[in-house]
Amino acid sequence: MAKSIANTAQEPHFFDDVSQFFDHAAQFTKHPKGLLDQIKTCNSIYRFSFPFRRGDQIEVINAWRVEHSQHMSPTKGGIRYSEMVNEDEVMALAALMTYKCAIVNVPFGGAKGGICINPKNYSVNELETITRRYTVELIKKNFIGPAIDVPAPDYGTGEREMSWIADTYTTMNPGQLDSFGCVTGKPLSLHGINGRRAATGRGVAIAIRECVDVAEDMKRIGLTPGIAGKRVIVQGLGNVGYNTVKVLLEFGAVVVGVCEYDGALYNPDGLDPDAVLEHRKNTGSILGYKKATKEFRTPAEGLEQECDILVPAALENQLTEENIGRIKAKIIAEGANGPTTPGAEAMFVEKGGIIIPDMYCNAGGVTVSYFEWLKNLSHVAFGRMDKRYEEMANLNLVNTVEAITGKTLTPAQRMTIVKGADELELVNSGLEDTMIRAYHEIRETKNTNAGIDTLRTAAFVGAINKIAVSYQNLGIWP
Ligand code: NAD
């Protein structure tokens, strides 16, 4: 009989959490212990410090890059800027990247980086200096490159930082044809890809839709199937949270709650995330937004309000054994990495809830990063070569059907059928296909293996099996 994850009174650290989830899932695989240990361990941990000149003072900046697994190359994972960054966190996030890539069949190993700073305390020029120096440190140790390790945005970073990294790397590697593939999440003007900015959130929304569309599973947790009308609370209106709720609104869900670092808002009839952000821009806080029926100065209280789906999309360790009992949602969709501790997950699932695990749920970002990397290596935008050819072929087909049937399409109908796909449509289609396939693969693993209790365990089992095959095929050299 398989062991379940213990409800430990003392919450362990983040890498331990990931390892606990891994060990639990490993019971359902048949791989030798040594191979499992190799998959679990972080292969390369680079911790470094560098000086930063601030006025007439010198500040020491602490930074990390962890490459968790090179069973596939390059390794891939975001860079986080936060005062809370530490080695344990970067190791855990790097490990999650390995499993995430395996789940969505992205041929990369996992990595993660972090700089221990609060970006709000630095000017744009200072952030540029720190980012460029961080990049140079990675170059010096061969911890970055389109075939080595490819960073991306994470908490506290975005297109701007990715541009500085790309420019620094390219400057230091003159003539390297693929140099812009050294980082993803770049702006479009600098060899980025349409759809990357919203990709993680779009992926989270698709994951939620797939989950709530399964009538049998919804019946079990007392919800009706379908996304329309489902009440959602989001924690964090940043890149992931904002784009998740924007797409969920398109799908017909209602955003009843928004939690940010400075407080939380609630309205059972729905909140407009753009209006909330506009209010914060004008006043400096989300609090005081007139269309909220309730507001909370303690952000965590916002998580505990009435809803069907909770989307933690800020940071790890938000749902613990201390607060999980007060969560009213039936579904937790992990936009953030590691928001739920193992003990909290065990309690939530025992109560009958569903957790869509981070390593699948937020994998849309790395999926589209993979498309961006492919674009950088091929040096051509998706759709550029075949869009017009596709349109001509469609037009010939429409003309032939019209000639045979004697009927004519309206200009709007004709346009819909004839139009070839552009880059955004291709990217979103690839993303959607990836998220749908992966969800049903995970669900199938759960339902066909006695003893697998959660989607997370099923996701880990699938990932471990795929990574094990890669390691076995690679062999050991020397
Ligand atoms: P972000 O910096 O764009 O946004 C984070 C948001 O959370 C900000 O609006 C911040 O104000 C808010 N926040 C901070 N502390 C909070 C608190 N205590 N309560 C409520 N809100 C709080 O970061 P992001 O890129 O959206 O990343 C969020 C999470 O998603 C992280 O766990 C990250 O690892 C994960 N993730 C991001 C991506 C990506 O493509 N950006 C991909 C996969 C996973």
Each residue's pLDDT tens digit, 274-286: 999 999 999 999 9
Assigned token pair, 116: 């221990």
Residues belonging to the binding site are 76, 100, 200, 239, 369
161-182 average pLDDT score:
98
Domains of the chain: 44-190 (3.40.50.10860), 193-383+421-477 (3.40.50.720)
Q: CB of 295 closer than 6 A to ligand 1? A: no
pLDDT given at position 191: 98
The pLDDT tens digits for 395-433 are 999 999 999 999 999 999 999 999 999 999 999 999 999
Q: What number does the ligand 1 atom closest to the CA of 335 have?
A: 30
Which residues, including other chains, have CB under 8 Å from residue 198's CB and lie 6 or more apart?
243, 246, 247
Active site residues: 112
Decide: 74 in ligand 1 pocket, CB within 6 A. no
Q: What's the pLDDT score for residue 107?
A: 98
**Per-residue pLDDT at 248:** 98
Residue of 66, 118, 150, 155 with the most ligand 1 atoms within 8 Å of its CB, for mutation: 155
Report the alpha-carbon distance of residue 67 to residue 468 in Å, rounded: 17
Distance 261 CA to ligand 1 centre (A): 10
Q: Is the pLDDT of residue 2 over 60?
A: no
Determine the pLDDT at residue 335.
Answer: 98
Best mutation site among 240, 319, 356 for ligand 1 pocket (most ligand atoms within 8 Å of CB)? 240
pLDDT band, residue 6 (cuts 50/70/90): very low
- pLDDT given at position 8: 43
Residues placed in the known binding site for substrate: 76, 100, 369
